[in-house]
Amino acid sequence: MKLLSSSSMQRVYLALAFVGYLATGIPMIIESARSGNILFWTKPQLTIDGLFGSLTSTAFTLDLMIVVLVALIWITREARRVRVPNVWAFWALTLLFGLGGTLPLFLYFRERRLGPAT
């Protein structure tokens, strides 16, 4: 199986970032408008109640929190290794909009940095 080129992977990562931000952003905007809980930050108790309202949502929430923590640690180390600047921006994007769009966005910048040699 032939690997995709670096430029092809950059396009894939950008498309996935767009889809990731769009897929999570639409319900977030609807809920922000409905409840006044802007980006799930302005009414923290409402957010916590939604995240931990049942055992099912608690399991998914805790799993995702662990994944986000691991991803942010990896993004920070990998950004230093391949010299992707402004790693703080990926932390901010993750905290504001989630990992679904931010991880592929980081992978896009990482792939640009690594270039066609990989």
pLDDT digit string (tens) for 73-84? 999 999 999 999
Tokens of residue 94, six digits: 């993750």
Long-range contacts of 64-70 (CB under 8 A, 24+ apart): 64/99, 67/99, 68/94, 68/99
Pick from 97, 78, 84: which is nearest to 17 by CA? 97
Instruction: Over range 90-117, report the average pLDDT.
Output: 95
pLDDT attached to residue 30: 96
pLDDT attached to residue 62: 98
Query: For 44-61, how does the pLDDT look when each residue is reduced to its tens digit (9 = 90+)?
Result: 999 999 999 999 999 999
Contact of 7 with 116, CB cutoff 8 Å: yes
pLDDT attached to residue 117: 62
**What are the residue boundaries of the structural domains of the chain, listed by start?**
7-113
Tokens of residue 101, six digits: 């769009």
